[in-house]
Amino acid sequence: MTILLGCCVGFIAWFLVRYLAAGIYTVNQDERAVKTSFGRAERLGTATTLDDPISEGLRPEERERYCFPQVRVIPPGGPYFRWPWERVHKVSVATQTINMAYDAESPGANAGGTVLEAVTKDQLNTGLKGQIRYRVNEKNLYAYLFGVKRPVVHVMGYFISILRERIANFEAPGMALGTASSEGGVPPALEAATAAIGVSINDLRKNLRDLNEHMERECASSSARYGILLDASLITGIDPPNEVESALAAINTAYNQVSSDISLAQAGADQKLVQSRRAVEIETLKAQAEVEPLTAVAEQLRQLRASGPGAMAAYVRNVRLKLFNQARRVIVEVPHA
């Protein structure tokens, strides 16, 4: 009897420690958690991700495919309790950085995860270097935890496919280099050489910011697709093939020299234009200064004429007397008798 009682007490103690005490858990500040009961996550009624603004970037044909239920997210804190048939899935929501060439399934690919290859519209194989900042979106934890098996791999593949498509069809905003060169006076030989060896690499290098912004716009729907939010894509370098590196350097040097000459000529022309405008202003002011006294005298004479018939004769007489007083010699015409 004593042995049976001891076994019962031991079993109860083991059960309390194994299932009740072990059921207490906490959630860190940089984590969020989702609890499942018999494998089913706790849902928020019938609400889905289509009711949340994160799905605004989905195309109409994608909305039915990427419709995930909204689940109850356990915030940081605790202690919380779970029953033995329940399981807690914790997810870090901290921002993480990863090399865009990293392949989680084949770490040795892409030169050990350092350079991503892409083909330009000129059929040149270029190497891309850069990073991606991402974090788990707590508004769609269902897609991250249960939607796909390896969400980071899916997001990387999604990002790389969009990036390679953009590189293959990239055109610089506004005029391409060939159009600008033909209008700017670049020799036809330089223009032909530029088009022959792949000017799109130069365009890509000069428009890295536009390329990064395009990737952010195109990947805005990743939260609704996979529960991962791409904070930023930082493409920092584009390396052309070795066989055209020297040719590109020569073309860039020639183009920069032509651009410098054009800039100097335009600066000289602008300076001469400013000097001409200043000279016109000076001469205009001189003419106005000479005309102003005459205008004032004409106004005075008009007022004198309006004051009376003898005012003008008196004014002329006073002016003559002043002139006679200042003159050393006066020649007076005497009428014949």
129 belongs to a structural domain: yes
The per-residue pLDDT string of the chain (337 residues; one tens digit each, 9 = 90 and over) reads 677 777 777 777 766 666 666 678 889 998 999 999 988 888 888 888 888 888 888 888 888 888 899 999 999 987 888 888 889 999 998 988 888 888 888 878 887 878 888 888 777 778 888 888 889 988 889 988 998 888 888 888 888 888 888 888 877 665 444 444 444 444 454 444 444 444 567 777 777 888 888 888 888 888 888 888 887 778 887 777 665 556 556 666 766 777 788 888 888 888 888 888 888 888 888 888 888 888 887 887 788 777 777 777 777 788 777 877 888 887 777 777 5
| Cα pseudo-dihedral 13, 17, 18, 23, rounded to 10 | 140
Is 273 a domain residue?
no
pLDDT of residue 34: 92
CA 207 to chain centre: 10
Q: What is the CATH number of the domain that holds 36?
A: 3.30.479.30
pLDDT of 247? 57
Query: In angstroms, rounded to a whole number, what is the distance separating the alpha carbons of residues 88 and 94?
Result: 19
Report if residue 297 sits inside a domain: no
Is residue 199 within 8 A of residue 122, CB to CB? The reply is: yes
Domain membership flag for residue 268: no
User: What are 84-132's pLDDT values in tens digits?
Assistant: 888 999 999 898 888 888 888 887 888 787 888 888 877 777 888 888 8
User: For residue 187, is it within any domain?
Assistant: no
Check residue 184 and give its pLDDT: 45
Q: CA 68 to CA 307: how far, in whole Å?
A: 99
206 near 274, Cβ under 8 Å? no
Alpha-carbon distance of 75 to 253, in angstroms, equals: 57
Q: How many CB atoms lie within 10 A of CB 63?
A: 14
Q: What is the DSSP letter of 18?
A: I
Which residue in the block uniquely carries the two structure tokens 């996550």? 41
Structure tokens belonging to residue 236 = 């920092």
Neighbours of 232 (CB within 10 A): 14
- What are the beta bridge partners of residue 91? 32
Q: What angle do CA 232, 49, 165 make, to 5 degrees?
A: 40
Our count of domains for the chain comes to 1
Residue 251 lies in a domain: no
Distance CA 294, CA 264 (A): 46
Amino acid code (one letter) for 27? V
Is there a domain that residue 225 lies in? Answer: yes
Domain of residue 153: give its range.
8-170+207-240
313 part of a folded domain: no
Beta strands in 38-105 (DSSP E): 40-41, 43-48, 69-71, 77-81, 86-92, 96-99
